Amino acid sequence: MNPITEIAQRVYNNGYLKQNQFIVHLSSPVGMISDIPVFSVTLPGFDINTIEQRDVTGPIKYIPERKTYIQGLFINFFMSKNLRGSPYELVNAWSEYFATGHGTNRFYEDGAGFSRVAVDIGQDPSQPDMTVVFYEAYPRVLYPIDLKPVEEIVPFTFSANFGYRRFEIFIDGASVEGGGGAYSSGYGGGFPSGVGSMNTSSTMSSTSALGGNSSSILAMPGNMGYA
**pLDDT score of 101:** 80
**Quick one: CA dihedral 219, 221, 226, 227, positive or negative?**
positive
**pLDDT score of 12:** 63
**Ordered domains of the chain (ranges, CATH):** 12-175 (2.30.110)
- How many CB atoms are located within 10 Å of the residue 95 CB? 20
Q: Are 185 and 81 in contact (CB under 8 A)?
A: no
pLDDT tens, the chain, 227 aa long: 677 777 767 766 667 778 888 999 999 999 999 999 999 999 999 899 999 988 888 889 888 888 889 899 999 999 988 899 999 999 999 998 888 888 776 667 777 777 899 999 988 878 898 999 999 999 999 999 988 888 778 889 999 999 999 999 999 888 887 655 566 543 333 333 333 334 333 333 333 333 333 333 333 333 333 34
Over the chain, what HEC string results? Answer: CCHHHHHHHHHHHHCCCCCCCEEEEEEECCEEEEEECCCEEECCCCEEEEEEECCCCCCCEEEEEEEECCCCEEEEEECCCCCCCCHHHHHHHHHHHHEECCEECCCHHHHHCCCEEEEEECCCCCCCCEEEEEECCEEEEECCCCCCCCCCCCCCEEEEEEECCEEEEEECCEECCCCCCECCCCCCCCCCCCCCCCCCCCCCCCCCCCCCCCCCCCCCCCCCCCC
**pLDDT score of 184:** 54
**pLDDT score of 176:** 87
Q: CA 135, CA 181: separation in Å to the nearest integer?
A: 14
